[in-house]
Amino acid sequence: MEGNKIRNMEEFASVSGISRPTLSKYFNDPTSVRDSTRKRIEAAVEQYDYRPNLYAMNQNRRLTKNIGIVVPYLADPFFAEIARTLENHVLRTGYRPVLLGSHGRPELEIENLENLRLIKPAGVLLAPLGRVSEREQIEAFCKEVPTVLFDANIDGVGHAFVGSNNGQSIGLIVDYLCRTGEPPAFFEMETPTNPNAYKRRTAYLAAMERLDHKPRLIQAPGEGWEFEEIGFREGSRLLRDKTLPTDTILCSNDRLAIGFLSAAYEAGLRVGLGPGCALRVAGHDDHPFSRYTCPTLTTVSQDYEAIAKKSAEALLELIEAGSPGDSREETLFEGRLIMRGSA
């Protein structure tokens, strides 16, 4: 403790014996100064516990070291998990992640982007809600800020997209289900909030056609992000009315499946593969909780780690390239079949 604290970089320069411009350079990029000076600075930082004023620093910089991470819904464990992974990757590269959730509301998503613009981020990782209505505003944002979309694609928007190959992953699980039992019906929301849902529906239809089976869509009414509730409600209704066209249900995502499984349990139906099982249920995403459902959920995993890694890398390339460039790279990771108890 040196008693009185350093109030600004000027003071820190005099006590540390290093000129202010050099300090300024150091704080914006520690590698930009000579090794020996860096060590002197770091020692002085330690000794005097000095941190430059973030606001004064960023005021005159065109860009900051902030990277925005925007997800549609933070209380959805899927997004929470991917956000967590992204944060780690961003931190490791020396940037500061700024996490924003849109609470499922398109207007909040736009507000989040506007707030992000105010903090002049170096770049943004955006998993859009997917409502078409806001396309223009997101597009405008992407023209000003290097942005990588992940999870949900909006054609032509943003400088890159990283996500899952829904065609491949749905094909995989449809194949598996057809190979091991009755062809699946596809259980989804009537008006999905997410563009992946449409891709998965299309992929299901294509897969069923390829295998010469009649596709059957089951569309649950309901809005919002309470997917488990929607899956449970519609599942209960279907099981009560006994209107299921097949004994095998492929859900558009794990959260719907979790609700459906719960409905099946309440209805006293045994779900799974073996004899004595009345129903097979499969999901998609490898949701953090799919390991603990009853029975455990057969699903297709999305490679969280790979998606997060690639998104962060793509954004960093973009940032370091300086100019946006007009190529738009789309990276799709393949799903992996996760065989568990439910199908």
Partner DNA sequence: GAGTAAATTTTACGCGCGTAAATATTTAAA
Partner DNA sequence: TTTAAATATTTACGCGCGTAAAATTTACTC
Q: Interface with a second copy by CB under 8 A: which residues?
A: 51, 53-56, 58-59, 74-77, 80-81, 83-84, 87-88, 96, 98-101, 103, 114-115, 118-120, 228-229, 232, 258-259, 261-262, 265-266, 288-289, 291-296, 341
10 Å Cβ neighbour count for 37? 15
Q: Does 37 bind DNA (CB under 7 A)?
A: yes
Query: DSSP string covering 3-39, please?
Result: SSPP-SHHHHHHHHT--HHHHHHHHH-GGGS-HHHHH
Q: What Å distances lie between residue 254 and 17, 168, 201, 233, 323, CA to CA?
A: 59, 17, 15, 15, 39
In the complex, what is the shortest distance from the CB of residue 84 to a second copy, in angstroms, rounded to a whole number? 5
Q: Among 5, 30, 47, 56, which residue interacts with DNA (rule: CB under 7 A)?
A: 56
Judged by beta carbon distances under 5 to 8 A according to partner kind, the member of DNA, a second copy, none in contact with residue 151 is none
Q: Which stretch binds DNA (CB under 7 A): 60-68, 95-103, 214-222, 309-317?
A: 60-68
In the complex, what is the shortest distance from the CB of residue 14 to a second copy, in angstroms, rounded to a whole number? 22
- Alpha carbon of residue 336 to chain centroid: 18
In the complex, what is the shortest distance from the CB of residue 27 to DNA, in angstroms, rounded to a whole number? 5
Q: Does 117 bind DNA (CB under 7 A)?
A: no
Q: Among 1, 2, 4, 34, which residue interacts with DNA (rule: CB under 7 A)?
A: 34
Spatial contact of 188 and 252, defined as CB atoms under 8 Å apart: yes
Judged by beta carbon distances under 5 to 8 A according to partner kind, the member of DNA, a second copy, none in contact with residue 202 is none
Instruction: Give the nearer residue to a second copy in terms of CB position, either 101 or 167.
Output: 101
Instruction: Give the nearer residue to a second copy in terms of CB position, either 228 or 286.
Output: 228
CA distance 64 to 56: 11
In the complex, what is the shortest distance from the CB of residue 226 to a second copy, in angstroms, rounded to a whole number? 9
- Alpha carbon of residue 197 to chain centroid: 15
DSSP-based three-state secondary structure for 134: helix
Judged by beta carbon distances under 5 to 8 A according to partner kind, the member of DNA, a second copy, none in contact with residue 288 is a second copy
Hey, what amino acid is at 247?
D
CA distance 87 to 126: 13
Residue written as token pair 């649950």: 220
Hey, what amino acid is at 325?
G
Q: Does 47 bind DNA (CB under 7 A)?
A: no
Q: Which stretch binds DNA (CB under 7 A): 48-56, 196-204, 267-275, 302-310?
A: 48-56
The encoded tokens of residue 84 equal 């967590």
In the complex, what is the shortest distance from the CB of residue 43 to DNA, in angstroms, rounded to a whole number? 14
Handedness of CA 158, 141, 200, 300 (dihedral sign): positive
Handedness of CA 51, 52, 55, 57 (dihedral sign): negative
Q: Does 57 bind DNA (CB under 7 A)?
A: yes
- Alpha carbon of residue 292 to chain centroid: 22
Spatial contact of 184 and 247, defined as CB atoms under 8 Å apart: no
CA distance 176 to 63: 49
In the complex, what is the shortest distance from the CB of residue 222 to DNA, in angstroms, rounded to a whole number? 44
In the complex, what is the shortest distance from the CB of residue 213 to a second copy, in angstroms, rounded to a whole number? 30
Residue 296: burial class (beta carbons within 10 Å; 0-12, 13-18, 19+): middle
Judged by beta carbon distances under 5 to 8 A according to partner kind, the member of DNA, a second copy, none in contact with residue 19 is DNA
In the complex, what is the shortest distance from the CB of residue 155 to DNA, in angstroms, rounded to a whole number? 35
Q: Which of residues 1-20 bind DNA (CB under 7 A)?
A: 7-10, 12, 17-20
Q: Does 43 bind DNA (CB under 7 A)?
A: no
Cis-peptide into 295, omega within 30 deg: yes
Site residues, DNA (CB under 7 A): 7-10, 12, 17-25, 27-28, 32-34, 36-37, 52-53, 56-57, 59-62
